[in-house]
Chains A and B, each alone.
Chain A
């Protein structure tokens, strides 16, 4: 009896691009300590995720990515971009097309306990410490399986390794700025930040690229907070209108560690921000997001927050303003493992639709295996409230202005809580600019 032989799945153009790119790319890194082939195999077995893959149901990369630009090489070309945080007095690490640029960076003044090196330097020296970065990203197997994590693990060529010694407090914030040379490339960056026991640091991450250039910008960041460590992190993304941005942050919070995280998404044609957080005993996580999308952009924020130990607290608040034909996606899952008694988790996702064709999708989930927990989630999708709008207009405020006030007020709950105080004002101004650019529509 004949059975049908399984036919090989047809690869998409983007998948073929990545296969081709990998086979020549891996040559340049032959013999390095990183298991790139293993990472790429994890990607290529299933290929680009599509809507039947649950985690990518609303963000079907197989249909959304027509092709994949070639992997970037180090460049000396300059790159523009609004220098939003220049006044903050932060130390700064600048990456162009995914490669560190010493000539644009200034890593001084972080203090004695803070050591910053680059991944490229480590790769060149074949530092065995990097081997660890090739494999395990997080204790969560879902992270390991994630196709974007696998891609970044296979292709990364540079990034920062930041170590904050136990008890040390970074003397000033660290800004990590990702710029584009304007070339159509795929950039892959991988950062590892380890904050020692009782130590603390503030990181301001920024992603920018010019309009009109197809780039794929991948960032994979692993953050480890030891017991009692603290980190404040702001991730601001304003990629160009043809850019795809894929960011993954895997954060591991030790006992009583605290992580205050904000992500502001204002650009890119396609953006996927993934946060995988694992909370130790009595750890404290706050993550919040403000997403502003217009045109035909698609922005996805996907969180998996795992309470692995007792008495941890997590707060997730994601808000999006969606204009034009844009789509905003929120997927959030709080997992409470069996031993995580006394967990306190609260998640909210709210979207305001600014046009008839805008879309917002929210999927909050709770997976609870412990019995003594307080968890809640909520999601709303609404339009600008006509009653509020009429009230403001009845006092003389024109329609376009009332929209601005109401959008700003809606996002204010997120922006007011941004932990990087110095950066907050710049972010608010940038959001105002985005709202102003909508023009005088009613």
Chain B
């Protein structure tokens, strides 16, 4: 059995005392490229935010490689939903990527040449090097998402959490992003993605978690991505044309 990257026990999260996630037990093995799927309001983003400590759960625990998240921050990178930030903020693409190095630097210390070099490399990896000095509001949706990805890459983490990275991006960017994610997996990293497009699940991912307030199923795509689980998750008799 491989190492366990993320272990979630009995996690319950409530917004305004209304449960959004209920008693989730979930084990994510190291080195998978996993999609979290489920209908709107199923708590997909909430799950990621609870794992990362952005939201305080009312019950349950999360461990990253066996230790509490607060001790393992440096192993984790996060790509928030694109809509969660103010894109009119006066800053450049390179600046945003540099923010990925802030966690390693800690309080007060400023990024130096080393951090700048790493950020430029990350920008190159996502094909955005020529846009490094561009104001972020002047980037297209796909380019903004790539910058976000580069910011996560520069964190040089072991586990990557991404909240809907394909939302509102063009086809080229989607392919570019998924290729980078596949590369990360090849390098032994664990990648967890909140995903909307069920059609592409078998093509992009090797692991999947069905979520609707509680966990429906989790496991390898080949074994559990079927009509039965989809119906359980989405409520109605859900049939999706899965390319098998």
The finding on whether chains A and B are genuine partners in a shared complex, rather than unrelated, reads no
